[in-house]
Amino acid sequence: MIAVGTVDGPVFEHLHRLTDGRGLFEHALHGDPRPEHGYCVDDVSRALLVVCRQHRPGSELKLVGCRYLDFTLAAIQPDGSCHNRMSIDGEWSDEPGLGDWWGRALWGLGVAAAKAPTQAMRARALLGFRTAALSRSPHLRGLVFAALGAGELLLSRPAELAAQELLRDAVAAIGVERGDVGWPWPQARLSYANGSIVHALLLAGAVLPDRAAHVRGLELLDFLLRTETHNGHLSVTPVGGRGPGDIGPGFDQQPIEVAALADACALAFTLTGDPRWLDGVQLAWSWFLGDNDASTPMFDPATGAGFDGLQAAGCNLNQGAESTLALLSTAQHAQRLGLLE
């Protein structure tokens, strides 16, 4: 078994453990899946993204990627809205909506349409993306997540009109005007997946192209890295958020925040070649290795399982889908950029 953190890249053993014939279980009790809690598009679409990002995925990973794509497509309704939660018996347990899960579905479908390992998967994902893109979320994070799928799709299909319109709408919702010098963030507080806002602006700058979005994205990334770094390591925004007067460190810190920052820094480095953004990816990977506020490793290197949050006394030993996928996504960036040891 190759450990996560070697030059050979991520280990997907725990991801396979969380996956059954229908989808990806959301929760785990330590390393054991909890089927009674069911599945959610939030996580399945993130898993689809990770599979499609993986360089030369093996046959088993391709198989589960098809399963994640089927699940995500089944959630999309003709008007573009999207289910999120499915029970263990295969029945949707919610009404279709336009929350974060809608945006993450579009993110996963956009990446799959551009990068899925087979042409058939790419074609099916594109049709699903176009349907879901008929709608818009009233929530900023939902719109931002959708914009990430739009931006990834435009990198390979620059004339895709639905993706262009979606990305422009997200940029308008974020805003590109320079903010307050002391608090340039476009919201009153940092909350969750903050790096995704930066990521969306940088994609818009690259593919629309939108120079103002590019400049604003780099400004916000610089602010985010400064705000979420303490004593040379990441000290990311905790579950309760972080405002201008808050003093850290705060807990619980979630792996999704680290992964979103790694996404933004990896793209910034690709676009600019500036080594400080490469350093940002290294900080994110080092957070998982244990260079964090509790000096605690945040994954199991034998299985590729991510732990469910950093607490003052150490890690939450549960190994759910969201945390595992955040670890795998960050490891993929670290591998591609030559940061794994």
Provide the β-strand partners of residue 233.
Answer: 230
CB 100 within 8 A of CB 46: no
pLDDT at 216 exceeding the cut of 90: yes
Entry pTM: 0.96
Write down the pLDDT at residue 8. 66
| Model pLDDT for residues 191-206, shown as the tens digit of each residue | 999 999 999 999 999 9
Write down the pLDDT at residue 2. 38
pLDDT at 100 exceeding the cut of 90: yes
The Cα 14–Cα 77 span in angstroms is: 31
Average pLDDT for residues 9-32, to the nearest whole number?
97
| Model pLDDT for residues 219-249, shown as the tens digit of each residue | 999 999 999 999 999 999 999 999 998 988 9
Q: What is the band of 338 on the pLDDT scale with cuts at 50, 70, 90?
A: very high
- State the chain's mean pLDDT as an integer: 96
Longest Cα separation, the chain:
52
Candidate from 4-18, 251-265, 320-334 with smallest mean pLDDT: 4-18
CB 5 within 8 A of CB 301: yes
The Cα 260–Cα 180 span in angstroms is: 23
The Cα 136–Cα 152 span in angstroms is: 18
